[in-house]
Chain A
Amino acid sequence: MGNPQFSDFVSIRDFSKQQISLVLKRAKQMLPYASGERKIRPLDGKILGTLFYEPSTRTRLSFESAMLRLGGTVMGFSSPMGTSIEKGENLSDTIRVTESYADILVIRHPLEGAARLAADVSSKPVINAGDGAGQHPTQTILDLFTMLESKERLEGLNVVILGDLKFGRTVHSLSEALATFGANLTFVAPPSLEMPREVIAEIESKGIKPKYATALEDAVREADILYVTRIQKERFADATEYAKVAGSYRIDSRLLSQGKSTLSVMHPLPRINEISPEVDSTPHSLYFKQAANGIPVRMAILSMLMGAEF
């Protein structure tokens, strides 16, 4: 086993464009192994500890599958119920104990910054699988990878991002990463849920001037990717206001007919009713492929953190 290329995977902001490109390249190499078409065991005998302080079945299973596909094994908990954490053990202590049981840790936690704290405490590599409303860097990488696989480029790609752009911090890191790769960004958000100023400043510092649209029909016309996120009911004062906003951003065949024939729709899933099921069987739907890409991307990150050579 060689030297690991990264020590932890906590925030996408820790990585340069070159480093992200390396992860994307490794993910591409992983595709035949991720599907099970070919076999590989570079992490034979290694243990992944999955510390899920809040349930996220999809993310946890995707990490477990990625580790098993690399020949490693997994152990951990999927909710703090019934563990010493429920008895009041703090995160720092839990990390100090579990790091001696595993070779690499993946953590999901409701508090922002929890993964950074875990990485500071642990001598073993730590992967952030989402910390509250904070970072979720493996999601960002899999989003970039899905766009790159589908469109064969990121530079100059017209990406429309729709939904709650204020509180959705994963959308902030995705937008920043896309700007780093030179994609053109258009934001569509309901009033009061617009992209925060500091994120726009960060994007502009990378030489990208984002566009803003209120009507979705206008925004999709030139788009290559329409990235849809959930709008949470809790963000609205009353149910009528929410219903109005949710209704005006519904993605269906009629809307997609306004765009290019190659327009692809992405969504981090699970969706509630943002995308009509009629879109699923059309060539526009990229969201199931996107979910499947979680495996090669997480295999890439696990193998790079463990210093496995390819």
Chain B
Amino acid sequence: MLKILGVTGENIKSTISVAMRVRSKKEEWKDIVKIEDRELDTREVNRIALIAPRATINIIRDYNVAEKTKVQLPRVVKGIVKCANPNCVTNSNEPVETSFDVVNERPLTLKCHFCERIQSRVEKYIV
């Protein structure tokens, strides 16, 4: 998750706290990632939706939850995932962004707009 958000590197100066297996009200467990001084853009939210379709993003301003949104998988995933087909035109030197239709949310299954190859195990191909 941290890698997806690109906060593993030296580029981030704010505090990051991670809590794992926290009991939630619904008697399920959840993991919490808290990043200070950071609001996510659409692209980052889409990346989270790909690997954690049930995630909730809370934006906390001045110690209060200012916004609370459930991530939503877009219908078309652009640029975040690499096509698993080595013979796909998007894996050549063409200046083109990858594009996938979401054919199934759980388990997450994508179809390449270009080569039409069906792709599961999407997390392996996130760039």
Chain A contacts for B78, CB-based, 8 A = none
B93 with A90: CB separation less than 8 A: yes
A112 with B85: CB separation less than 8 A: yes
- Interface check B44, CB cutoff 8 A: no
A113 with B89: CB separation less than 8 A: yes
Stretch from B52-60, B63-71, B110-118 at the A interface: B110-118
Q: Give 13 A-B pairs besides A91-B94, A111-B88, A112-B87 with Cβ atoms closer than 8 angstroms.
A: A13-B116, A90-B94, A91-B89, A92-B94, A92-B95, A113-B89, A113-B90, A113-B114, A116-B113, A116-B114, A117-B89, A131-B89, A133-B87
- Interface check B18, CB cutoff 8 A: no
A113 with B116: CB separation less than 8 A: yes
Please give me the residue from chain B that is nearest to A118 by CB atom: B89
A111 with B89: CB separation less than 8 A: yes
Interface size class of A (residues with CB under 8 A): 10 to 19
10 interchain residue pairs of minimum CB distance: A113-B114, A112-B115, A113-B115, A113-B89, A111-B89, A114-B89, A116-B114, A117-B89, A112-B87, A198-B118
Interchain CA distance A117-B99 in the complex, whole Å: 11
Chain B positions 58-114 with a Cβ under 8 Å from a chain A Cβ = 85, 87-90, 92-96, 112-114
Chain A contacts for B95, CB-based, 8 A = 90, 92
Please give me the residue from chain A that is nearest to B93 by CB atom: A90
Question: Could you jot down 30 A-B contacts, CB within 8 Å?
Answer: A11-B116, A90-B93, A90-B94, A90-B95, A91-B94, A92-B94, A92-B96, A110-B87, A111-B87, A111-B88, A111-B89, A112-B85, A112-B87, A112-B88, A112-B89, A112-B114, A112-B116, A112-B117, A113-B88, A113-B89, A113-B113, A113-B115, A114-B89, A116-B89, A116-B113, A117-B89, A117-B114, A131-B115, A132-B87, A198-B118
- Identify the A interface with B (CB < 8 A): 11, 13, 90-92, 109-114, 116-117, 131-135, 198
Chain B contacts for A135, CB-based, 8 A = 116
Please give me the residue from chain B that is nearest to A132 by CB atom: B87
Q: How far is the CB of A224 from chain B (nearest CB, A)?
A: 29
Chain A contacts for B117, CB-based, 8 A = 112
Interchain CA distance A112-B87 in the complex, whole Å: 6
Most buried by B among A11, A13, A117: A117
Most buried by B among A13, A92, A112: A112
Interchain CA distance A111-B96 in the complex, whole Å: 14
Chain A contacts for B116, CB-based, 8 A = 11, 13, 112-113, 134-135
